[in-house]
Structures are given as C-alpha cells and as structure tokens.
Amino acid sequence: MPRYLGDAHQVRLPPPTSYQRAIQYTSNTPIHGPNVRAIVIGKDIYYSPNSSKTPPLPPKDPQYIRNPLKDSVEEFHNPQWWSADTGYLPFLPISPQFGSPPFHQLYNDPLKTGPRRKWRIQMDSNDVLNWKRLETTLEHLFISFQLTYGIPDMPPIVPTSLACQDAFEFPSQFLSAEKRCRNWFAVWMAMVSLGIAVAQVYDGESGNTLVPKWYTTFAPHTDEAVLAGIRQQLGQFSPWFPRAGVFLDLRSSQEQPTVDFFVRLDIPVWYLWGPAEEAEARRNPSHWAKYMPPAHMLQRARSFLNAVPGPAPSAVQGSEEDEQPWTVFFSKRAHRDIGPMPTKKLTMKVYHWEKDVNGEWQRTAVLKQLRNETLDGYGKTQKVFDERSNEWDCCTEMGELDAEERQALHDEHEEPILTLGPGPPPSVPDASVASPTPLTTSESFPLTFTHAISSPPFHLPSNDKAPAAVYSETDGLSGVVGESAAYLPAQHSPADVLYLFFGFVAPPPSIRLPLREPSEQQIKDLTLGVGCSAADLMHEYVETPPGRYAPNFFWSISQSPSGYADGNKIVVASTRALGYTDSPTILAGAIRGMVQ
C-alpha cells in the first residue's frame, strides 16, 4: 500500500528497503536472557539484556578514521554508540579465526631483500596479491549485500588492511606490522557479517538453515570454497563467536536497529535506563515495558548510586598535618620541585599511606612486583600521580569510590577466585589409625596462628604401616596428632595464605635447618605479600616453630625468577624418592624454602 506524507501535496514516500525492514525486527518474546546485567557507568545505569560484561562508556561523537600501522583494532573490541556510518562495528569479531580458510592467506613468510649487509625484510609479492585479493573479495561480497538488501554506504574505518608491504630493517618490525594489519582485517569481516545478519533476519532464516538464500544468490558469482569458509565463520551468531556489541540510545530519533535485532543475533547490546526512559515507559507501556530491566537489578544498581559516602577527610577534627599528611607532603614537594622537567624518566614508584601501630601516618614504598596490583586496588580519587618524580601516592582516606567502582568492588567480592578455608584432608595410610586427639591450646599462643600446617599435603606410601607422629606447632598442644588430621589453619591467617597461594609447608621437626634470623625487611615483605594488616600479628607468627621458616621461604621465591633454587636443579616430579607425591609443585616450594 502506498504511503503519503501531508494532505495537500500528497508526497509519496519510497517503501522501506530490506535493510530497514530487517533492522526494525521486533519479537513478542522477552528480550531478557540468562546473561543480563544492570551496570553503573559514571553516574548512570546501563542495562544489557544479553551480556554480563562491564564495558567502558564510549564517546558520543567519535572520529573513526584510523591508520592501520599506527592504531590498533583492539580499541573497537569495546562497544561503540550506534552510528549509521559504521553500522558494522557491532559485528566486529573479537577473536577471529585467521587460521581457517580462506583467512589463512593472511599469514606470510617474509623475504630478505637487498645486499647481505643491508638486508631488509619484506612481504612476498605473491602474499601481497593473495591478501589484496581476499580483501577485495570481501569488499565485493559486502557490495553484493548492499545491492540485494538495500544496505546503505558504510566505508571501512581504515583504507586498507594491507599496509605492511614495505621493507623493514628487522624481522620483529615486520612481524609486528603484519600482526597489526592482519587484526585490522576484522573490519572487512564485520562488514560481511552485517550483510549476512541482515539477510538472515529479512529472509526469516536462522544459523541452522542448511543453505541460506543469500548463499545460493551469491554462489554463482563467487568462489564457492571461499564463500563456504566465509559463511562458516562469519555467518555464526552465538556466544561462541563473540562480537564487539553496541550501545543504543532508545530515545534517539535517528534510524537505528532495534534491541530485538541484536538480541536475535546474540550481539551484546547496552542502553541507558534513567528517569527519562522510565517516564517513557509509564507513558507508553505497550512499547517500552519490554525494555525495562528487572526490578531487583535496578534496585541493586541504584544501591551503588545512592550509597552515602563516609565523612570527608576535611570534616575530621584535627590539624591538616595530623589527619591529611599527604597534602602537606604534596605541597612541600611542589614547592621544592621547580625548574625544567628531568630529561631522563625515573623508575616508577608506588607509595601507600597508612597508620602504624602508634597511630602515626607512614608513607611506605610498595614492592616492585605489587605496584600494579596496589594501583588497581584504589579508586580514581584515592591515588595521586606526580609526573616529575614518576611516583604514585595511594590512600583510601584521599577520596571516596564512585558508584561504578563500588559496584566493581562488590562484584569482585561476590565472585571469589579461590574458595578459602580448610583444605582437603590428606589420605590415611592405614585404616587402623585412630582419630586425632582434639587440639587444646595454651595461653602462650593464640589459636589464630597455632592452627598452622600440621602435616604435609602429599600422600604417604601405602606400605607405611606405622603412623608417624606430626609435630605439634605450639608448646601447649597435648597428645600426638595422627596422619588423618585435616589442615585447619585459621581462615585468612598468614599460614592459610602461604599454604593456599604459595604452597608453603614447614619442614618436619626431624630436619634442623641452620637458618639466620629473618631481618625486619624480610618480615615486612612477608607481611605485604600475604596481605596481613597488622605487623605485630606477623611477628607473633614468625616466632612460632613453623612460622620461623616463612620469611626465608617468601624471600627465596621473591628473589629467584626460576622454579628451582640455584644449585638445586632436581626435578621433583621425576625423582624416585618423591615420585609418589600428588602435589610436586607444593613440595618443590617447601624444598626451595629449606635450601635457601
């Protein structure tokens, strides 16, 4: 039926194209899938009905033109706002399979050109031809989709992916340039993926269709082997073939695909849900109700926005030097550091401010291997960078976490990497071994540290009939603990962390190791390494019989980059005497701590 605009002039509008019909796809089924999430980005709530990721918020009006030799395609692995000029970016494959045909042609063996003393590395001319031919094939295939389904003009954001055919001085330079350009080939893969998606939705087909309509249409004009390989990889729309995704503005007046379109194709989609969207949902529930996030997710996201921050440091009574010593330190440093910037950049250092046992603020340097982890543990307003000295200062009292950071911290606590607590009990070498005698503690040692590792975590040989007594780690433990005693250190104690994360096992009492007394620096490094918040607590632990080995053990694994200590090149897993162990890496850690 013809459509008209206005009553006076009867201007006839053209019918919608196949592309327009496809991107306006709607469904009566709910859009909310199993992976849904309401996230806080900045001060707003964004919702995704089909992704649980937390992407960064892209700029609203970006400039997309890129240089394939200088820029990296990885920046577009994060979703961008929908744009009619780059409508293929949501379909950009994050992990393209370049090893499968026909994309295997993008891997090349370089040639050496020029005289021997002035060799240059260059791509073979045949490889250049194959690369360019494949890029042209995908470009022509996308043009075919445009002509068949009315897809508007969408030029690639790079002029070509083949920008590495020049001569390079070193092989590493060529390989780096080739990899960067090969990754940019994903842009042409995304363009063809968009064409396949539009064809699939418009033709009412699915990914399981044996021979899609578009395939039969293009097969007579395209190499069928190439077309089959393209369909095999680019025609798959599922979580197993992850794509970049897209941000949509539901209230935008421009022509854009619907949320249903992206959900149908398993393309991650996010959209803002704020007061304006809620008002639209109340005015027009028949259209907007399906986009409303689940109530419990909105409530959870709003809890981070509405969280009341603690009192600002300036509100705390006391002088600025006593309560905010970093401000005084920064002021003195700025007054002292005048003149031109140093020509040689200094090594980056990280410091964190904390109170000692006497309540005095201390500026403490962070170990080199813990610098990045320390910076990640503070919010944007809780760390200050000085460009001249290349130093970071961190403190939780410097500022508050914003809503986005509070949500990320909450999610991190909700999904622990490793379940902490008692480990699995060791195997019992003989069924006749009696149950262990209950442990009793004396007043001299608190239970927090006396429950340390009481038996090795490896299995004893089955021919050992007599149960060996395990050394009691406190002077006040009564009775002899049998082999079947479970490892029960206090949760999150230094013994627990050293065992679970570093594989530390104290040697049995029969082995006397001539170790030096640990230095204060070694104890301090151990305290930071296991995340112990109280220095006096760690001093109590290192005074216990098993704890006296811990500083030397931690120092040895911090100093040696290899898996074995110098002079101890024995491979534990292949040693006959230790071949029965279930955890050779844990035992190797114990041996390494002994030999240092």
Q: Note the pLDDT of residue 446.
A: 41
Q: How many CB atoms lie within 10 A of CB 561?
A: 6
Distances (CA, A) of 518 to 477, 503, 521, 531: 26, 20, 8, 18
Taking a C-beta distance cutoff of 8 angstroms, is the pair 234, 196 a contact?
yes
Q: Which helix (H) or strand (E) holds 50?
A: none
Taking a C-beta distance cutoff of 8 angstroms, is the pair 167, 57 a contact?
no
Taking a C-beta distance cutoff of 8 angstroms, is the pair 38, 297 a contact?
yes
Quote the CA–CA distance of 531 and 537 in Å, as a whole number: 12
What's the gap between Cα 18 and its chain centre? Answer: 39
Q: Which helix (H) or strand (E) holds 41?
A: strand 37-41
Q: Note the pLDDT of residue 369.
A: 85
Quote the CA–CA distance of 584 and 572 in Å, as a whole number: 6
Taking a C-beta distance cutoff of 8 angstroms, is the pair 152, 17 a contact?
no
CA angle 386, 387, 389 (to 5 degrees): 75
Quote the CA–CA distance of 19 and 317 in Å, as a whole number: 65
SS (H, E, C) 455-482: CCCCCCCCCCCCCCCECCCCCCCCCCEC
Contacts of 218 (CB under 8 A, 6+ apart): 141, 144, 227
Q: Note the pLDDT of residue 11.
A: 61
Quote the CA–CA distance of 440 and 442 in Å, as a whole number: 7
3-class secondary structure, 248: strand
Quote the CA–CA distance of 488 and 150 in Å, as a whole number: 68
Q: Note the pLDDT of residue 487.
A: 41
DSSP assignment, residue 93? B
Polymer length of the chain:
596
Taking a C-beta distance cutoff of 8 angstroms, is the pair 441, 477 a contact?
yes
Quote the CA–CA distance of 384 and 387 in Å, as a whole number: 10
Q: Which of 325, 331, 296, 303 is nearest to 313 (CA)?
A: 325
Distances (CA, A) of 319 to 313, 315, 322, 484: 11, 11, 5, 58
DSSP assignment, residue 212? -
Taking a C-beta distance cutoff of 8 angstroms, is the pair 174, 168 a contact?
yes
At residue 517, what is the residue type? E
Quote the CA–CA distance of 380 and 155 in Å, as a whole number: 38
Token look-up 């680019």 returns 234
Token look-up 């803002």 returns 272
Contacts of 186 (CB under 8 A, 6+ apart): 73, 92, 93, 96
Distances (CA, A) of 249 to 213, 271, 450, 594: 32, 6, 59, 62
pLDDT per residue of the chain (596 residues) written in tens, 0 to 9: 444 444 555 667 788 999 999 999 999 999 998 889 999 988 899 999 999 898 999 998 888 899 988 899 999 999 999 999 999 999 999 999 888 889 998 988 888 877 777 788 888 889 999 999 999 999 999 999 999 999 999 999 999 998 888 888 888 888 888 899 999 999 999 999 999 999 999 999 988 888 999 999 999 988 888 999 999 989 989 988 999 999 999 999 889 999 999 999 999 999 999 999 999 999 999 889 999 999 988 888 888 776 545 444 444 444 555 678 888 888 888 878 777 788 788 889 999 888 887 778 889 899 888 888 889 888 888 899 988 889 999 998 888 888 777 777 766 655 544 444 444 444 344 444 444 444 444 444 443 433 333 334 434 344 444 333 333 333 333 333 343 334 445 556 787 788 888 888 877 766 767 777 888 888 888 888 887 766 777 878 888 877 888 888 888 887 655 444 444 444 444 444 444 444 444 444 444 444 44
DSSP code string of 295-354: HHHHHHHHHHHSPPPPPPGGGSSS-HHHH-HHHHHHHHHHHH--SSPPSSPPPPEEEEEE
SS (H, E, C) 126-172: HHHHHHHHHHHHHHHHHHHHHHHHCCCCCCCCCCCCCCCCCCECCHH
Q: Which residues are bridge partners to 270 per DSSP? A: 247
Quote the CA–CA distance of 249 and 502 in Å, as a whole number: 48
Q: How many CB atoms lie within 10 A of CB 214?
A: 24
DSSP assignment, residue 357? T
Compute the chain's Rg from CA coordinates.
32
DSSP assignment, residue 269? E
3-class secondary structure, 416: coil
Taking a C-beta distance cutoff of 8 angstroms, is the pair 452, 425 a contact?
no
Tokens read off for 119: 């060799």
Q: Note the pLDDT of residue 265.
A: 96
